[in-house]
Structure 1
């Protein structure tokens, strides 16, 4: 096997109180985290001090619908900041770390998203990233004049066109378009402005964008879907892929297949960074780590556990079933046939409903590793050196407590083995991730053929 010459990339994924479904009940969490800017600023600065590549914020543009008796015990997505607004504030209190947020292509317009992320990229000096999603919360449709979400195929068609329009808008101005020359009284060169004049199935956008071309050319594009349609979109547009990976051999297969597929679109291996989510539970011993997980699982109320699983299983009604009995076999087989990597691992060994929601509640679909710093880094290193991942999106169970522990105990071990940086390599998120700055779609266009208001 070839030896890797690069280093791991690491992102810090911030759910307000932490990734464990009962995190808010632990005294190590910030209980009002969803609307506490100082909390996010402290964590982002701590992640930057540890040399993380980026911080990542998920999003949903609706509260959760469902069993309110359960949801009252589960604050996720009920009250929290708009992520792009939050990242703009965090840009002012950091210098190096990447700032990545989710924005849906289903319930936004390309002009809005292109403008916001271009602005964030300028404000942060080239540290913005956009996680492209099609929305998983069906309730979002009700906030935007629709009775139901778009169909699966239409969602991804729309997403593909949406991203193409956003890229076109980011290229509205050449990099050298703004002269800002007082002596000649010229602010910009009209030969270096481009009207998009896009008319497609889902969008009609003239342009140009009223923001200069972003410092990174385009903000870094992230994508997380594990469906076949999502993988196709990832191969075309994603520069960083967040996807659930639980088994090493399957991860190696996914890694190779996705990079080869991206190659069919003229992209190299280096153009795609694969960073699955990873929940890390660090302790003095394996026994202590097991006790920590057992304690957190004990905090999950059965109503919350059922609601959590119901959401993960596409709205399956679990109210008739005893939490201390396995689900009926016909339901298990139906779920297995869906081949959903985010939930398939839960069905191994005929678990009870309680065991299932305890397993899922710890990592919410992503892989969990536990143990001492050395044993945890052994596992991280094995996957990295096996070309199964390029890095990880770290999901601390409790925030800020478990981020602080990861920074104090795991980061030094990674650095001592030469697996992770001790200083930032560049100024922008692209530079730190080892990604190229994309040229403008008009870069090869002869200057003499440019005319303001015309896309040649």
Structure 2
């Protein structure tokens, strides 16, 4: 195996869909998202495929931007986080031994002490396999669920996020590695001199500590981040060990990775310790034509109005006031929403799409590239992107759950392993160890 191999991370949601918002309607989709066993089997399948990790995206509310109501997204099954992923991750940890487990927690709504305590506990119980996908959140609806009138501005959110990470790191290090003694004969349970107050005090965050949780196997969970704004990119460059990104082509991926590595180096960090993983959506068939037919079929299941509602939610503007047949370029959107909308539609402008067409395209895979083909062809596409310097691996999103994971693990993983692009077994014992062995 070469020194560098692909990192693979699976994108999950505790609901009916992930990125493909028609997938739950597919006749082979298992709608087991309320069943603990469904999550345990998914984790076991991904571990069989030697994935580095899985993680749950999360939203703390029901989107209601479109028509001022959550009726369309709830009624048509789009972008829903119906369960709290943290208990699910605890169950997945019991069902697996190696794969990393990632939780999304917002620095805007959760105090660092609670974040550090919860993730520290799960890191110990999983044997050092936790990751924290750090988000600042961006929607007023989530803020209102936590008693705020509106979400704080981006600058304030990121200032708080930096302090939250600093505070968590101090709390996680408040126990030295050998603080627990557990000597029955002498009666010494722990050495208090090796447990310390954190005394963290910032402009937004204060926490005295020490943490109640002993030092974890990794020292602290792996830090993930997916911001795409200027502050988000700077935040990732300072803290992230994994960067999750949505890019529309291999060239977009290459530019993003190069820019991220430059930012990481400017922060005095080794760019090889920050893996950049674009999202892709594999659709696999026995032949090229079968794969294309499968893609066409599942993509046809996306509801056009749901696409409008999803796009409204992601840009924070109600698009129901625009006719769906209106050309995208003619939309008069607020400045902030216009920028987000242009990012969403990057790569589609040349096609002259109407709003409805563009929104449906977005709901198909949230514009993550679909890698369509035979197992060999999908492996070829992944290899070309990876060896071309466009990424350090991939965040894979399922079209149909759990079928995408099962088919990818059975059919594509062995090809990547034969080519020396993917591990055949786990050599490390922690998630950070998995990532470092690939660097």
Aligned to 2:330: 329
C-alpha contact 1:362 1:368 (8 A) present in aligned 2: no
CA distance in structure 1 between the aligned counterparts of 2:403 and 2:420, rounded to whole angstroms: 26
| CA deviation profile, 1:25-77 (whole Å, cap 9, x unmatched) | 112222241x2211111111011111111111111121222434412433345
Aligned to 2:10: 12
C-alpha contact 1:126 1:216 (8 A) present in aligned 2: yes
How far residue 330 of structure 1 moved from its aligned partner, in angstroms, is 4.6
- Within the candidate set 185, 190, 199, 1:183 is matched to 185
Aligned to 2:44: 45
Whether 1:143 and 2:142 are equivalent positions in the alignment is: no
C-alpha contact 1:62 1:77 (8 A) present in aligned 2: no
Aligned to 1:279: 281
How far residue 340 of structure 1 moved from its aligned partner, in angstroms, is 5.3
C-alpha contact 1:60 1:137 (8 A) present in aligned 2: no
| CA deviation profile, 1:364-404 (whole Å, cap 9, x unmatched) | 14222212222221111111112211100110111011111
| CA deviation profile, 1:411-445 (whole Å, cap 9, x unmatched) | 11111211111101211111111179xxxxxxxxx
C-alpha contact 1:17 1:30 (8 A) present in aligned 2: no
Aligned to 1:206: 208
Q: How does 1:357-368 map to 2 (within 5 A)?
A: 357-368=359-370
Q: How does 1:364-383 map to 2 (within 5 A)?
A: 364-383=366-385
* 3-state secondary structure, aligned to 2:181: strand
CA distance in structure 2 between the aligned counterparts of 1:337 and 1:70, rounded to whole angstroms: 24
CA distance in structure 1 between the aligned counterparts of 2:72 and 2:387, rounded to whole angstroms: 42
CA distance in structure 2 between the aligned counterparts of 1:435 and 1:169, rounded to whole angstroms: 27
* 3-state secondary structure, aligned to 1:208: coil
State which drifts further: 382-391 or 281-290: 281-290
Aligned to 1:405: 407
Aligned to 1:292: 294
State which drifts further: 14-23 or 168-177: 14-23
Q: How does 1:212-227 map to 2 (within 5 A)?
A: 212-227=214-229
State which drifts further: 299-308 or 273-282: 299-308
* 3-state secondary structure, aligned to 1:92: helix
CA distance in structure 2 between the aligned counterparts of 1:410 and 1:69, rounded to whole angstroms: 38
C-alpha contact 1:270 1:435 (8 A) present in aligned 2: no
CA distance in structure 2 between the aligned counterparts of 1:333 and 1:53, rounded to whole angstroms: 40
How far residue 79 of structure 1 moved from its aligned partner, in angstroms, is 5.7
How far residue 362 of structure 1 moved from its aligned partner, in angstroms, is 2.0
Aligned to 1:21: 21
Q: How does 1:56-135 map to 2 (within 5 A)?
A: 56-66=55-65, 67-76=69-78, 78=80, 80-135=82-137
CA distance in structure 2 between the aligned counterparts of 1:339 and 1:263, rounded to whole angstroms: 30
Higher-helix-fraction structure: 2
Aligned to 1:453: none
| TM, length-normalised to structure 1 | 0.89
Whether 1:312 and 2:310 are equivalent positions in the alignment is: no
- Return closer, same or farther for 1:97/1:353 CA change in 2, 3 Å cut-off: same
CA distance in structure 2 between the aligned counterparts of 1:284 and 1:107, rounded to whole angstroms: 46
- Return closer, same or farther for 1:315/1:289 CA change in 2, 3 Å cut-off: farther
Give me the CA root mean square deviation: 2.2
Aligned to 1:266: 268
C-alpha contact 1:373 1:409 (8 A) present in aligned 2: yes
C-alpha contact 2:17 2:80 (8 A) present in aligned 1: no
- Return closer, same or farther for 1:212/1:344 CA change in 2, 3 Å cut-off: same
CA distance in structure 2 between the aligned counterparts of 1:288 and 1:18, rounded to whole angstroms: 23
| CA deviation profile, 1:313-341 (whole Å, cap 9, x unmatched) | 33242343134x53352548977755854
CA distance in structure 2 between the aligned counterparts of 1:403 and 1:6, rounded to whole angstroms: 23
CA distance in structure 2 between the aligned counterparts of 1:174 and 1:340, rounded to whole angstroms: 48
- Return closer, same or farther for 1:76/1:89 CA change in 2, 3 Å cut-off: farther
C-alpha contact 1:240 1:275 (8 A) present in aligned 2: yes
